[in-house]
Structure 1
Amino acid sequence: MLTWDEYAQHSAAYLANAFGTFGNSVATAHACRNKAASREAFAAFGVPSAASIRVDSLDQARAAAENIGYPVVVKPAAAAGSIGVSRADTATDLAHAYTQAAARAAGHRFGVLVEEYLDGPEISVECVTVRGTTTPVAVTRKQLGAPPHFEEIGHSVEAGDPLLALAGPVAIQALHAVGFANGVSHVEMRLTDGGSTPRLIEVNGRLGGDLIPHLVREATGIDLPLAAADIALGLQPDLAPTRRRAAAIHMAYAPADGRLTHAAADPALREQPWLERLVWEKQTGDRVALPPAGDLGIARIAHIVARDTTAERCLQHLADAASHLDITVN
């Protein structure tokens, strides 16, 4: 029993338990899906995290923000992909942020969270857990879009990243706190205090999105989807690295809301030795919209994957490639 979908974790856990297969408890799936429950678990186990208060109204959100101190992050407690998440620097910002988060939380019983803003680079640790023993295998460094939103517009993975030694133990603590016993996970955190202190954002009890498992395989040779399947079958996954290089992805976003009228790339881009793939996600005539009106499903036009000896070189390739995309929205 296996899922890579954020919203199917409860169902997968329930069925794994019903059939007696390898998976996680329903309580663990709940803790991973409900960010308020995650925060409670982190606090109980002393995992460094952000101060967080669950709210059900704008008045409660205002009181929570005053208690925590601005700036704050306002988010749906059970969404994914940065949907409905934004930063509020003032009480005026808070009203808009709460309205946005509450709209995305509609239909979920978990409500909205007002949280401490963690200042620092954002990363995730990709982990493999077998019968309660966790192995952190890679660090993914994030590139975020313009504030106040937390849209992830790129990721990079480099074999042997020194951040793994710093952030890996915190990821293990977090997974232990929510009772994660079997599977591949994607543990997000920020590096505060000038990059020296990892603090938890959330635990995702599934494979990372945005082709992160593909970047890990390109950089290290470790196959996370295969590991997830092996664990579901009760087998021991192979986590021995076979490569030592880097890979990165860039997501090209619409320049404005509207209809996509033109999308093309310089033909020379296809000939670059570092290019692993260039995929157009939208066709001319498709409607596109930037956050907060649009989420990643209608904001992204294309994605590009680069591979090279270091993450720095990959990111430079992607920056150059972005300037060779011709995208027009009417």
Structure 2
Amino acid sequence: MTTTAALPDDTRDDGVLLVLGTGDQTFSSYCLAAASMRSPLVLVSDAEPTWQQPYLRDHEVAEVGDLEDLRWAVARLAGRHEIKGVVTWDEHALVAASHIATDLAVPGQSSATATACRNKAASRAVWSSECVPSARSIRVTSLVTATTAARRIGLPVVLKPASHTGGIGVVKVDHFDELPAAFTYASARAKGQGQEGSGILVEEYLDGPEIAVECVTSHGITTAVAVTRTELGAGPHFQAVGHVVTAGDPLLAEVAPIAEAALDALGVNCGISHVEMRLTTTGPKLIEVNARLGGDLVGHLVRLATGIDLAAAAVDIALGREPDLTPTRAAAAGIRLLYPATSGTVRTAQPRPELGTPDWLERLVWEIRPGQQTLLSPQGDPGTARLGHLVVTGDDVAQVQEHLAHAEGLLDIAVDPQLATG
């Protein structure tokens, strides 16, 4: 059932940007704020807007994953406003956004491209046919076929749901006796992938540092603007614990052509993309393409380090404008995602007084408060485990790492291992 925001019947404007979904306030509010500076906004989301309300001209509540329900909601908004573009930074709304953009005849991806970006099995097939370097991968639906695939590829392998992101359901397998538990783990988290993909992928393990290339595509031409270097926690779940972006990263020249080839092969013709890869001993190889702004405040880090506003660029592209990709800063920025050593009930989560408020500490946000529970993998996932995050700036990557270590060392975190019950 769709609900509608109150708006006088005679209230119209010169055109609005339609936003589909917004995600979590902690990690998405900067996107909505940047978008509101570029255009009046209307929103369709699964729930009545709360923190989003100050940024909006109008809204509808509808199930974004239900294309029929979504189309009715968009039609109601189109009756009150001239919709000039569609944008989303919500992974699960990418395919819906492509359909709505086609309906409205505004810039957007084709539904085939959006689906291929969401479905890692489809992406791998395209890259293999186009000779774009990526991990060998086989889609499976049972433990028997997973075992066969692992034998064909060779250990170690990685199991993951075909259409999830953010490390959900990802697990490394070093020995065949680990496969049953790993398949159960990945399968349990394969639910809710959406209609774009199903099943589990068994993939070649890519050894080496993980990075992402932040790309902007306008009128079919892709510009790689930054490299995000990712720090991963201990195996086997590949949980990201931090990212650093540095202006003028020399690695960009090496990895940009691969990212651009990956997007071109998938047919990406507009928008922002977060292209993940590993730097292996035989060269960079693709992990996946996220046809949206990177999570974990990556777009915010890019702006802090380079001055390039990817959220604003996404809006300009959606409205048919040329984005401004001129760097205005030459610095570095990083985020540390704070996880406890054990699952349990949070007893303490606070900074020590000596941390103070240095200029380089851009933010410290607690996502779980004392008395609440944190649940690590394999029982939980990043969304249930993370205590909070901090963002710092610096002149270069070394200074950012120094600031991250200094700030994290001045946090008092204590978790009682026994989970609360009842």
Mapping of 1:178-217 within 5 angstroms?
178-193=266-281, 197-217=283-303
Deviation at 1:106, TM superposition (A): 2.6
Distance 2:356 2:276 in 1: 33
- Output one character per residue of 1:106-147: Cα deviation in whole Å (capped at 9) or x when no partner: 354521000000111000000000011000000000000110
C-alpha displacement of 1:100: 0.7
1:134 and 2:219 correspond: no
- State the AA in 1 paired with 2:205: Y
In the alignment, which residue of structure 2 is the partner of 1:325?
Answer: 411
Whole-Å separation in 2 of the counterparts to 1:179 and 1:215: 27
Check whether the contact 1:254–1:289 (CA below 8 A) recurs between aligned residues: no
- Structure 2 residue aligned with 1:37, among 122, 133, 140? 122
Contact 2:354 2:410 in 1 (8 A): no
Offset at residue 268 of structure 1 (A): 2.3
CA distance in 2, matches of 1:285, 1:252: 17
Q: 1:110 and 2:195 equivalent? A: no
- In structure 1, the residue matched to 2:255 is 167
Give the corresponding residue for 2:344: 258
The aligned residue for residue 3 of structure 1 is: 88
Larger relative contact order (Cα-Cα within 8 Å, sequence gap ≥ 6): 1
Identify the residue that residue 160 of structure 2 maps to in structure 1. Answer: 75
Letter in 1 for 2:376: L
Question: Any conservation in 2 of the 1:251–1:300 contact (CA below 8 Å)?
Answer: yes
Shift of 1:254: 2.1
Q: How many residues align?
A: 328
Aligned to 2:211: 123
| Equivalent in 315, 322, 341 of residue 229 of structure 1 | 315
CA distance in 2, matches of 1:140, 1:293: 29
Query: What do the CA deviations read for 1:140-187 (whole angstroms, capped 9, x no partner)?
Result: 000001101110010000000011000000000000111111100000
TM-score normalised by the chain length of structure 2: 0.76
**8 Å contact from structure 2 (residues 344, 375) kept in 1:** yes
Provide the secondary structure at the position in 2 that maps to 1:21.
Answer: coil
SS of 1:4's equivalent in the other structure is coil
| CA deviation string 1:32-53 (max 9, x = no partner) | 1100000011111110001000
Question: What's the CA shift string for 1:37-94, capped at 9, x where partnerless?
Answer: 0001111111000100000000100000000000001000011100110100010122
Query: Percent identity of the aligned residues?
Result: 55
Quote the Cα distance in structure 2 between the aligned partners of 1:134 and 1:265. Answer: 42
1:13-52 → structure 2 map (5 Å cutoff): 13-52=98-137
Give the alignment's TM-score, normalised by structure 1: 0.97
Q: Which runs of 5+ in 2 are unaligned?
A: 1-85, 417-422
Deviation at 1:270, TM superposition (A): 2.9
Q: Is the 8 A contact 2:339 2:385 kept in 1?
A: yes
1:29 Cα deviation after fit:
0.8
Q: Verify: 1:154 aligned to 2:245, yes or no.
A: no
Moved over 2 A (4+): 106-109, 270-273
Report the residue type matching 2:214 in the other structure.
Answer: E
Letter of the structure 1 residue corresponding to residue 240 of structure 2: E
